[in-house]
Structure 1
Amino acid sequence: MGRRVWGLCQGIPTAVLYGSLALFVSILHNVFLLYYVDTFVSVYKIDKLSFWVGETVFLIWNSLNDPLFGWLSDRSFLSSPHSGSQITSPEVVLKRLQALSRSGPLFALSFLAFWVAWTWPGLQFLICLCLYDGFLTVVDLNHNALLADLAVSAHDRTRLNFHTSLFSAIGSVSVFLSYSFWNKEDFYSFRIFCVTLAALSMLGFFVVSRLLQHRFQSEVQPCKTESQPLTELSIGQAPFTSAEKPVTLGEYLKQLSRHKNFMWFVSMNLVQVFHCHFNNNFFPLFLEHLLSDRISASTGSFLLGISYIAPHLNNLYFLTLCQRLGVYQVVRGLFMLKLGLSVAMLLAGADQIYLLCIFIASNRVFTEGTCKLLNLVITDLVDEDFVMNRRQQAASALLFGMVALVTKPGQTFAPLIGTWLLCLYTGYDIFERNSVAEAPIAAPALPVPLRQGCFYLLVFVPISCALLQLLAWSRFTLHGRRLQNIKTLRQSAQHSHLIDVKAI
């Protein structure tokens, strides 16, 4: 019976298996983003100093671990003068799958460490954040790098991203369920819920990574014995085969500093990461102080769930637009839409409850939807880096890591800047057990009412982000004819008899 099931699983397309890995991340990560701050502040009663120290250390670790793990993963592609002839793309894919099979279950275990108080809150906050983010980084880097390693054409990468979005949407169901179990006074049910999610994630990572490893191992071994180049998903011998001296980390950083499109992209993406995590961290606060007394609990649960599921479903439509208009135009349109909706909500005011419900949900939907598309832009940057610097192999994980080095600080800045602004303009301090701090450090002379302050925070943050992003995005040139030329040069490095990703 077991062999029969295993045989049936072998028939699942690679693109579907690749996308399913996103399911086992999203069922945990969405819950983490939504509840980790509230858990430590409201349940474990962490003090303000410990929270800020933990977030500051996390900021440093969160920024450095991506390029560190990316360098450890891809340094051989830069250092070996003949790496293009020694390492084929299927072997690179197999290496990334082996990393996923190890780090995926460990990522699920680190998720569980948040929901049980096992030491002093400040120390637990620091250890849990660093462990969780470390394993999440390894999972994300290898999964995202596979997007660039499995395909080069925009069509095939869009197809892979389509499956990722589909499974991420399914994984967002955990947010709907979490609202039913979340109870600050009785944490037991929520802990059982988290254990169940972690067990499902561990099992999924183990099974899917084994399936993919078996598939690519079966392709690598015969070709090694026959001494023939691999034809499936192979980049193979690059066109730039002259011997080169090893590329050091310093030289690689200099190359990136001269990569203008990379610099403009990370500037824009830093703001995007900040806005995404600002929405995640303050969504419960906005629901509580803007809508809780005007909508039912079931409506709040629906808004919460739809704000996590809709971005992935919307992304399925956005991906079809990307095939017709290009990623650049779609992302630019989303920035303009974010700006327009925020200005309209500001003019309408906080008393328009139905408009407020729609805006709170749509703000998160379009912001998260943009984030889901940006991996396609990074894969284009991988192609441009490959061509500009005459790489023997595309260092996809390393480039994803360098993007994260610059942009991930936005993840830490979001709760810090958000809580500071809220305290500055309203006198409300989330670390105080009473609703309003008795003596906030930076309390205004005439504090804005809490509800009005939350509303201003809700609309002015996306307005500011959209303006900064439109400015940076207007300087990004990797689209249109230039992008087509880059992809043509990258594809010329491939063997002429590649198999389409849909047929894998």
Structure 2
Amino acid sequence: MWKMKFGLGIHPNALAYSMTTLGAGMMNSIFNFYYVKLFLNQYKISEVAFHQAQVVFMIWNAINDPLFGYIQDNSKVPCCSRRQFSILYGAPLYALAFLLPWFPWKHYQEGDWLNGLHLIVALCAFDGLLTFVLLAQCALFAEISTRHEIRLQLIKYNQVATLVGSTSILFCGLISDNMENFAYFQTFTVLVAGLATACMCYTGLYSTSQYEQRETPVENTSLETNDKALSWSSVISLTKQIMTQKNFILFVTMNFFQVFHLAFCNNFMMIFADNLIPRDVLSSFIRSIIYGAGFICPQLSELYTHTLLKKFGYYRIILFSFYLEGIAAFVMLVLGKEHYYLLAIYLTTNMVIVQASFSLFNLPLADIVDADFIKHKKISPLSSMVFGTNALFTKPAQSLAPMLVVTILNQFGYENLNNKLSPPDPSGSSDPYPFPPGQGPSPKVLPGLHDAMFYLICLVPLCIAVIQILTWTPFSIQNSHMTPV
């Protein structure tokens, strides 16, 4: 099945698998990069409403992954049990959920309660459909083949798809002038939603896995077996089997901080750059290029290091990325925030490293799926449950990161700054504090805000890198790239 190729040497199954990555990449990049700034700066959401939305999102974000994972691994309904059908039927709803934040329900005023409800609905709907579709795709990754070289082939196709999908940030920034022209921004998101739906439907129609025949024995089992599979005791037993793996615990701990770091970069890179780097140093066009590079370059780097993955394996490359993040953060901290061009390079490089290493995480999770499958002698691997249980513990970091950062920034006057005119020019121009007398933050507060932002972008990556090195080093599946299956 796998060796069949198109005339140009393209693996049809890898192509079909990666099309979901292409569609999801276009939407996820835009959603994560713009939603925080949109609700804080344009919809004028209050800090309380923002935190309330993030808490609701954190709870839903944590429980929906293991819930959907268990349903997809045990349901008898084809749209849930078949990975391809989950993607096919979930794709249009996923695209509609992506459009929710970009169209306000009314003209929001400062302190309006409706923008808080809007954020809750947008976050929960988008993540719910994202989970349903991408959990099926993650399971498909583990089930297409257990051979390492084939999984590397999938990673390679995935990187190309993510590379193309991540250009949505670049084009969105250029077309909408970094969301300044909101009508153009909205039009672009509708176009992206349509293209993403078509891409994901291609996966649903044309991808296959080596466990395609698994539905037959499952359907022929007795009703008693099916009832047992759907019982709460079975859920607890299967989850316990997964969570007692030492490698799973180490991976989840490391991944929690990676998700936190990724959310930190995605949600606040534009805010930090706008406030710390003067507009006369970097024009709007250059900023769009930089923001796009933060999403495009990770895929380029992964394609470039594909041979290194074959030679050294994902374990050593991921570990090296943690050391690189820590060293870069320490050097930037020593140099200081006045080196604007170096700061722009650092922000982009940090985002590239975090994105690039995170894109490899399906490989260790797939190895954990294989280990669980062999150890407990299962009929078929519980791929969705493994990926879902991982998400149960790591997804809350997506909410904790913006909550923590917004709280810290507001302590230094960001909320007052945001509710007035444009951000101050950190270059020290003739009018660096564009507020009428008696309004807005005082000149003493703004340098404090800039210092807080600078220390955040240095100390957060540095601390996370140290923690990840300590938790990832004991991970024992280090040479799966050299082990024949």
TM-score if structure 1 supplies the norm length? 0.80
- Which residue of structure 1 aligns with residue 192 of structure 2? 197
- Which residue of structure 2 aligns with residue 274 of structure 1? 260
Q: Residues of 1 paired with 2:120 and 2:349: CA distance?
A: 32
CA contact (8 A) 1:308 1:365 kept: yes
Residue deviations 1:205-236, cap 9 Å, x none?
224422337x999x969x98xxxx9xxxxxxx
In the alignment, residue 410 of structure 1 is paired with which amino acid? A
Q: Residues of 2 paired with 1:53 and 1:170: CA distance?
A: 35
Residue 168 (structure 1) aligned with residue 162 (structure 2): yes
- Which residue of structure 1 aligns with residue 341 of structure 2? 354
Going from structure 1 to structure 2, the CA distance change for 1:44 and 1:92 (only over 3 Å counts) comes to: closer
Deviation (angstroms), 1:396: 0.6
- Which residue of structure 2 aligns with residue 306 of structure 1? 293
- Which residue of structure 2 aligns with residue 33 of structure 1? 32
SS at match of 2:381: coil
Q: Residues of 2 paired with 1:478 and 1:388: CA distance?
A: 14
Farther off after superposition, 199-208 or 330-339: 199-208
After superposition, where does 1:113-128 map in structure 2 within 5 Å? 113-118=100-105, 120-128=114-122
Going from structure 1 to structure 2, the CA distance change for 1:160 and 1:134 (only over 3 Å counts) comes to: same
- Structure 2 residue ranges without an equivalent (≥5): 1-5, 107-113, 218-227, 425-434
Q: Residues of 1 paired with 2:158 and 2:268: CA distance?
A: 26
- Which residue of structure 1 aligns with residue 326 of structure 2? 339
In the alignment, residue 123 of structure 2 is paired with which amino acid? L
Going from structure 1 to structure 2, the CA distance change for 1:313 and 1:322 (only over 3 Å counts) comes to: same
CA contact (8 A) 2:172 2:178 kept: no
Q: Residues of 1 paired with 2:207 and 2:13: CA distance?
A: 7
Q: Residues of 1 paired with 2:445 and 2:51: CA distance?
A: 26
SS at match of 2:134: helix
CA contact (8 A) 1:20 1:163 kept: no
In the alignment, residue 190 of structure 1 is paired with which amino acid? F
Q: Residues of 2 paired with 1:37 and 1:165: CA distance?
A: 26
After superposition, where does 1:38-49 map in structure 2 within 5 Å? 38-49=37-48
Q: Residues of 1 paired with 2:236 and 2:397: CA distance?
A: 25
- Which residue of structure 2 aligns with residue 374 of structure 1? 361
Deviation (angstroms), 1:17: 1.7
Q: Residues of 1 paired with 2:416 and 2:68: CA distance?
A: 35
CA contact (8 A) 1:66 1:404 kept: yes
Deviation (angstroms), 1:186: 4.4
Going from structure 1 to structure 2, the CA distance change for 1:484 and 1:32 (only over 3 Å counts) comes to: closer
Residue 328 (structure 1) aligned with residue 315 (structure 2): yes
Going from structure 1 to structure 2, the CA distance change for 1:381 and 1:36 (only over 3 Å counts) comes to: same
Going from structure 1 to structure 2, the CA distance change for 1:252 and 1:174 (only over 3 Å counts) comes to: same
Deviation (angstroms), 1:334: 0.6
- Which residue of structure 1 aligns with residue 415 of structure 2? 429
SS at match of 1:326: helix
- Which residue of structure 2 aligns with residue 149 of structure 1? 143
Deviation (angstroms), 1:155: 1.1
Farther off after superposition, 54-63 or 108-117: 108-117
Residue deviations 1:260-314, cap 9 Å, x none?
1101110010000000010001111111012133222222111111111001111
CA contact (8 A) 1:42 1:184 kept: no
- Which residue of structure 2 aligns with residue 466 of structure 1? 465
- Which residue of structure 2 aligns with residue 319 of structure 1? 306
After superposition, where does 1:439-478 map in structure 2 within 5 Å? 449-478=448-477
Q: Residues of 1 paired with 2:243 and 2:11: CA distance?
A: 42
- Which residue of structure 1 aligns with residue 224 of structure 2? none
- Which residue of structure 2 aligns with residue 135 of structure 1? 129
TM-score if structure 2 supplies the norm length? 0.83
In the alignment, residue 374 of structure 1 is paired with which amino acid? F
SS at match of 2:377: coil
CA contact (8 A) 2:57 2:124 kept: yes
Q: Residues of 2 paired with 1:478 and 1:216: CA distance?
A: 23
Deviation (angstroms), 1:140: 1.1
CA contact (8 A) 1:289 1:450 kept: no
SS at match of 1:399: helix
Residue deviations 1:147-189, cap 9 Å, x none?
1000112111011011011111001111111112156664211
SS at match of 2:374: helix
Query: Which residue, out of 247, 253, 266, partners 2:239?
Result: 253
Q: Residues of 2 paired with 1:332 and 1:35: CA distance?
A: 30
Deviation (angstroms), 1:52: 1.0
CA contact (8 A) 2:332 2:346 kept: yes
In the alignment, residue 397 of structure 1 is paired with which amino acid? S
Residue 292 (structure 1) aligned with residue 281 (structure 2): no
Q: Residues of 2 paired with 1:93 and 1:20: CA distance?
A: 19
- Which residue of structure 2 aligns with residue 236 of structure 1? none
SS at match of 1:114: helix
- Structure 1 residue ranges without an equivalent (≥5): 1-6, 78-90, 230-244, 492-504
Query: Which residue, out of 142, 153, 157, partners 1:159?
Result: 153
Going from structure 1 to structure 2, the CA distance change for 1:45 and 1:403 (only over 3 Å counts) comes to: same
Deviation (angstroms), 1:351: 1.7
- Which residue of structure 2 aligns with residue 405 of structure 1? 392
Deviation (angstroms), 1:257: 3.2
Q: Residues of 2 paired with 1:307 and 1:14: CA distance?
A: 29
In the alignment, residue 283 of structure 1 is paired with which amino acid? M
Q: Residues of 2 paired with 1:412 and 1:279: CA distance?
A: 13
Farther off after superposition, 347-356 or 357-366: 347-356
Deviation (angstroms), 1:48: 2.0
In the alignment, residue 327 of structure 2 is paired with which amino acid? G
Q: Residues of 2 paired with 1:93 and 1:14: CA distance?
A: 20
In the alignment, residue 126 of structure 1 is paired with which amino acid? I
Going from structure 1 to structure 2, the CA distance change for 1:92 and 1:35 (only over 3 Å counts) comes to: closer
Residue deviations 1:445-484, cap 9 Å, x none?
988522222111111110000000001012211223xx47
Q: Residues of 1 paired with 2:445 and 2:115: CA distance?
A: 34
Residue 70 (structure 1) aligned with residue 69 (structure 2): yes
